[in-house]
């Protein structure tokens, strides 16, 4: 099994910046505690309040699949639904 890396960018609609900020912060700690999580970091783009980037490293695709089905992640998905201008998720594997 090889590690899976995820870069997820979320841009909040202007009227939902506060709600998205709270939601992204709440999902971090429980995700870091999951079996198979290696890295789960949240960033906000400098000069662009409301633009968040997650850098994630998981031990395997199975770990990602487990993460995606957790209660805290499913609650996060529901919480941000309809409140984002952009959601861009890249699933990567390191080649060099």
Going by pLDDT thresholds of 50, 70 and 90, the confidence category of residue 1 is low
Going by pLDDT thresholds of 50, 70 and 90, the confidence category of residue 16 is very high
Collapsing DSSP to helix, strand or coil, 47 comes out as coil
Instruction: Compute how many other C-beta atoms are within 10 angstroms of the C-beta atom of residue 56.
Output: 23
User: Looking at the whole model, is its pTM more than 0.75?
Assistant: yes
Domains annotated for the chain, with CATH where assigned, are 4-92 (3.30.70.100)
């Amino acid at each position: 099994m090889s590690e899976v890396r995820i870069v997820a960018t979320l841009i909040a609609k202007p009227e939902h910046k506060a709600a998205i900020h709270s939601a992204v912060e709440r999902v971090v700690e429980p995700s870091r505690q999951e079996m198979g999580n290696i890295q789960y970091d949240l960033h906000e783009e400098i000069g662009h309040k409301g633009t968040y980037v997650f850098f994630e490293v998981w031990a395997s695709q199975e770990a990602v699949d487990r993460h995606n089905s957790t209660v805290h992640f499913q609650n996060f998905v529901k919480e941000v639904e309809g409140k984002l201008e952009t959601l861009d998720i890249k699933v990567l594997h390191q080649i060099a």
